[in-house]
Structure 1
Amino acid sequence: MPTSPSDPAAGYDLAVIGAGPAGLAAAVTAADLGLRCALLDAGPRTGGQYYRHPARGLGATRPGRLHHGWRRYTALAARLAAHTRAGRVDHLAEHQVWTAERAGGWLLHATVGPAAERRASVRARAVLLATGAYERQLPFPGWTLPGVVTAGGAQAMLKSGLVLPGRRIVLAGSGPLLLAAASSLVAAGAEVPVVAEAADYLGYARRPGVPAAVPGKLAEGAVHAAALLRHRVRLLRRTAVVEAHGTDRVTGVTLARLDRDWRPLPGTERRIACDALAVGHGLLPQIELATELGAETRRTPDGAFALRVDTRQRTSLPGLWAAGETCGVGGADLALAEGELAAYAVAGRSPAAGLTRRRARLRAFAELMAAAHRPGPGWPGWLRPDTEVCRCEEVTAGRIGEAVDALGAGDARTVKLLTRAGMGWCQGRMCGPAVACLAGGTVTGPDSRPLAVPVPLGQLGQPGQPDQPAGPGWSAGPQG
Structure 2
Amino acid sequence: MTASPSEAGTGRDPRAPYDLAVVGAGSAGLAGAVTAAELGLSVALLDSSPQSGGQFYRHPAPALGAVRPEALHHDWSAFSGLRRRLGESTVDHLSGHHVWSTVREADGTWSVHAVTGADGTAEAPALIRARTLLLATGAYERQLPFPGWTLPGVVGAGGAQAMLKSGLVLPGRRVVVAGSGPLLLAVASSLAAAGARVPAVVEAAGYLRYVRSPRVLAANPAKAAEALVHGAALLRHRVRVLPRSAVTEVHGTDRVEAVTVSRLDGDWRPVRGTGRRIVCDALAVGHGLVPQIELATALGCDTRPLPDGTLGLALDDLQETSVPGLWAAGETGGVGGAELARTEGELAGRAVAARLKGRRADVGRVGELRRRRDRMRAFADVMSAAHAPGPGWSAWLEGDTDVCRCEEVTAGRVREAVAELGARDARTVKLLTRAGMGWCQGRMCGTAVACLAADGGAAEPPAERRPFAVPVPLATLATLAETETETETETESTGPTRERPGTP
2:83 to 67, 77, 81: 77
Asked whether the 8 Å contact 1:143–1:243 carries over to 2, the reply is: yes
Which residue matches 1:324? 330
Asked whether the 8 Å contact 2:6–2:14 carries over to 1, the reply is: no
Which residue matches 1:474? none
Taking the aligned partners of 1:71 and 1:266, their CA distance within structure 2 comes to 48
Letter in 2 for 1:459: T
Rate the CA distance shift 1:443–1:153 in 2: closer, same or farther, 3 A: closer
Which residue matches 1:377? 391
Asked whether the 8 Å contact 1:262–1:379 carries over to 2, the reply is: yes
Taking the aligned partners of 1:5 and 1:314, their CA distance within structure 2 comes to 29
1:355 Cα deviation from its structure 2 partner: 1.8
1:3 Cα deviation from its structure 2 partner: 6.4
Q: Secondary structure at the match of 1:360?
A: helix
Which residue matches 2:490? none
1:345 Cα deviation from its structure 2 partner: 0.6
Asked whether the 8 Å contact 1:4–1:90 carries over to 2, the reply is: no
2:70 to 53, 64, 77: 64
Q: Secondary structure at the match of 2:406?
A: coil
1:443 Cα deviation from its structure 2 partner: 5.7
Asked whether the 8 Å contact 1:17–1:97 carries over to 2, the reply is: yes
Q: Does 1:387 align with 2:401?
A: yes
Q: Secondary structure at the match of 1:461?
A: helix
2:24 to 18, 30, 33: 18
- Unmatched 5+ stretches in structure 1: 467-480
> What are the superposed Cα offsets for residues 235-292 of structure 1, whole Å, 9 maximum, x if unpaired?
1110000000000010000000000000000011111100010000000000000001
Q: Does 1:255 align with 2:261?
A: yes
Identity, in percent, stands at 66
Which residue matches 2:110? 106
Q: Secondary structure at the match of 1:138?
A: coil
Which residue matches 1:170? 176
Taking the aligned partners of 2:17 and 2:75, their CA distance within structure 1 comes to 34
Q: Does 1:34 align with 2:40?
A: yes
**Structure 2 counterparts to residues 274-423 of structure 1, below 5 A:** 274-348=280-354, 349-351=361-363, 352=365, 353-423=367-437
Which residue matches 2:273? 267
Which residue matches 1:436? 450
Q: Does 1:119 align with 2:121?
A: no
Letter in 1 for 2:298: E
> How does the TM-score come out when normalised to structure 1?
0.94
Rate the CA distance shift 1:431–1:66 in 2: closer, same or farther, 3 A: same
> Which structure carries more relative contact order (alpha carbon 8 Å, separation 6+)?
1
2:473 to 438, 456, 460: 456
- Unmatched 5+ stretches in structure 2: 355-360, 485-504
Asked whether the 8 Å contact 1:297–1:307 carries over to 2, the reply is: yes
Asked whether the 8 Å contact 2:328–2:348 carries over to 1, the reply is: yes
**Structure 2 counterparts to residues 209-224 of structure 1, below 5 A:** 209-224=215-230
Asked whether the 8 Å contact 1:4–1:92 carries over to 2, the reply is: no
Q: Secondary structure at the match of 2:164?
A: helix
2:462 to 424, 428, 445: 445
For the aligned residue pairs, the C-alpha RMSD in angstroms reads 1.5
What is the total number of aligned residue pairs between the two structures? 461
Asked whether the 8 Å contact 2:447–2:460 carries over to 1, the reply is: no
Asked whether the 8 Å contact 1:148–1:250 carries over to 2, the reply is: yes
Which residue matches 1:182? 188
Q: Secondary structure at the match of 1:421?
A: coil
Q: Secondary structure at the match of 1:111?
A: strand
Q: Secondary structure at the match of 2:295?
A: helix
1:45 Cα deviation from its structure 2 partner: 1.0
> What are the superposed Cα offsets for residues 38-82 of structure 1, whole Å, 9 maximum, x if unpaired?
000001111111110213321112110111111111111110001
Q: Secondary structure at the match of 1:347?
A: helix
> What are the superposed Cα offsets for residues 362-389 of structure 1, whole Å, 9 maximum, x if unpaired?
0000011000000000000000000000
Which residue matches 1:470? none
Asked whether the 8 Å contact 2:300–2:465 carries over to 1, the reply is: no
Q: Secondary structure at the match of 1:408?
A: coil
Letter in 2 for 1:385: G
Q: Secondary structure at the match of 2:257?
A: strand
